[in-house]
Amino acid sequence: MKFVKALFYTAVGSLMTIFYRDGMEVAMSWMFVLWLPFAAHDLGEAITPFPLKKATGAGDTDDQQK
């Protein structure tokens, strides 16, 4: 999944560079709008203080001893 995400970010960055060079500001803006939710999601995952995935039950708890 990380490879697909890196590929997507590389493609978006490359297309934005090409659109900027060719003077297609509207297309560059749409690529930015397409990229923005993915970047916001990644930022949210990076700065969240609590883990989003649940534990797999590797630890001993009182419920397991009953």
Quick: pLDDT tens for 19-64: 999 999 999 999 999 999 999 999 988 898 776 666 666 555 555 5
How many residues are given for the chain? 66
Q: Which amino acid is at 20?
A: Y
Closest C-alpha to 17, from 7, 27, 5, 3: 27
pTM: 0.64
Closest C-alpha to 39, from 10, 9, 1, 13: 9
CB contact burial 33-46 (16+ within 10 A = b; e otherwise): eebeeeeeeeeeee
Give the whole-angstrom CA distance, residue 65 versus residue 34.
Answer: 50
